Amino acid sequence: EDQVTQSPEALRLQEGESSSLNCSYTVSGLRGLFWYRQDPGKGPEFLFTLYSAGEEKEKERLKATLTKKESFLHITAPKPEDSATYLCAVQASGNAGNMLTFGGGTRLMVKP
């Protein structure tokens, strides 16, 4: 069974204080790893897709990296508007379609 574990569950940062979020996964064969952002009262919004170990993707203050067992979402000099829940998900190569298994998320709060 595919499993995704995210840590920490919650993270408080001061504006400008860089940090990283962790996503550990167990999957029979990885087709892709995905990061989503979810704001309160909204549905998750797609950020990145990573396909193979060593791959990196960047978007503004966010950078996602991937190893064979985990992914990191690095946040550089965060701003209050980066406050949200960040979700990690995996897509296994063995499943019939494109279903995703999500982790529990990391709730990020950035104080001004």
The residues of the shown chain that bind other proteins, judged by CB under 8 A, are 31-32, 34, 36, 41-46, 49, 87, 89, 91, 95-105
Of the pair 76, 101, the CB lying nearest other proteins is at: 101
How many whole angstroms separate alpha carbon 75 and alpha carbon 89?
18
C-beta closer to other proteins: residue 14 or 98:
98
Closest CB 78 distance from other proteins, rounded Å: 23
Q: Is 16 exposed, middle or buried (0-12, 13-18, 19+ CB in 10 A)?
A: exposed
* Residue among 32 and 76 whose Cβ is closer to other proteins: 32
Q: CA-to-CA distance for 109 and 33, rounded, in angstroms? A: 24
Taking the CB of residue 112, how many other CB atoms lie within 10 A of it? 7
Residues contacting residue 112 through CB under 8 Å, at least 6 positions apart = 15, 80
> Least distance (Å) from other proteins to the CB of residue 51?
10
Residue 85 C-beta: closest distance to other proteins, Å:
10
What's at 17, amino acid-wise?
A: E
**Min CB(75)–other proteins separation in Å:** 21
